[in-house]
Amino acid sequence: MIQRRGIDFFRKINNAYQSSSKKETTLYEIRESIARTHKETIDYQPDTLVDGQPMPLIVMENRGGGLDKEKWKKLEAPPDSVFYLGSKVDCFGLKWLVTEINYNQEVKLAGKMQLCNYVLKWQNKNGDVLHEECVISRYRTSATGEDPDKVITLNDTRRSVLVQFNNQTATLKQGMRFFIDIEGLGNEKVYKLTDLNRSTGIYDGRGFFELIFDEVQVNMETDRPDLMLADYTEPPDSPLPSIGHCEILFDGKPQLRAGGSAKEFTAVFFDIYGAVIDTIVPAWETVLPSALTSEQIDVSYESDRAVSLRALSGVGENFILRVSVDDAYYGFFEASVRLHILPLW
């Protein structure tokens, strides 16, 4: 009883009544201390944005040497704040990409971010121009078994790119071509996407892609250096605006149970007045990460506008179910839902 009162008194003076063990109470006290002193560090940056949302961070320089030391920085968030692998950070008037995170977050969340030094431009299938900040560097290799700091090979015709995984970059495919150069200097270079790593930079459905580009010849019939767009598609003279929209309806949460029953998803289409359109036949698509295969997701078409999905395995993985319409009258529009696979029990 005396020991119990002592623990209760310790929790009281540390404002830690919700803690259930000595470890949790100690961690609570440490987090509170960090929160109180967070603004006092010389590296405190109060005006930073993380994925567009205000989040004051401690941003520290790389204290080591090397040519790239100004291109990445360490960052720490105050307790109870959250950022993710692949998050974009606005800091010092520049864009940064979070490429490392510590996953032991009992005390605080910390990581590493790299400077986004280029904006990739490409067109989607509707002809719209997409932009994405990214980290571009020359491709480096090191001799097997040697010290990578001493034996480094730089490939002049190959580029390594880190880019956030999002709805835009999920459409990137091997074989696509891009201008990667300074605009307006002449003889701008075109690169072809030859390797798309969609696994090692992804954690819990968030993160970044690692892309490898190889230099190719410029095709003056299809490439537009003045627009910095390769394989340019001329927009139609009178483009049809989207005069409708669609939604994907389903019961419960966007989750599937591995080995469980199937869940039905129904696409509903509306015109600009909100009336349901029954004549549209859409296209369904599942966008799977590299950790999942089509054999693990059973897809059954119940009708033109309804599908049933059943996860056979893949616990912990995320994937996207997308439905799209490309109609001569209603135009192009789409909807998607991100699904998470849980254990059966």
Query: Cβ-count burial of 49 within 10 angstroms (0-12 exposed, 13-18 middle, 19+ buried)?
Result: middle
pTM exceeds 0.85: no
Which of these, 114, 52, 55, 126, lies nearest to 85 by C-alpha position?
Answer: 114
Residues of the chain with pLDDT > 70, as a percent, come to: 78
Average pLDDT of the chain to the nearest whole number: 82
Closest-CA residue to 120 (of 166, 74, 84): 166
Confidence of residue 113 (pLDDT cuts 50, 70, 90): very high
Is the distance from CB of 224 to CB of 232 less than 8 angstroms? Answer: yes
Confidence of residue 143 (pLDDT cuts 50, 70, 90): low
pLDDT digits (tens, 9 = 90+) for 240-286: 556 778 899 999 999 999 999 999 999 998 877 788 888 888 899 99
- Provide the 3-class DSSP secondary structure of residue 315: coil
- Taking residues 107-120, what's their average pLDDT? 89
Highest mean pLDDT among 167-176, 270-279, 323-332: 167-176
Backbone phi, psi, residue 147, to 5°: -65, 115
Is a pLDDT exceeding 60 seen at residue 217? yes
pLDDT digits (tens, 9 = 90+) for 41-99: 567 888 889 999 999 888 887 655 555 666 889 998 887 788 999 999 999 889 999 99
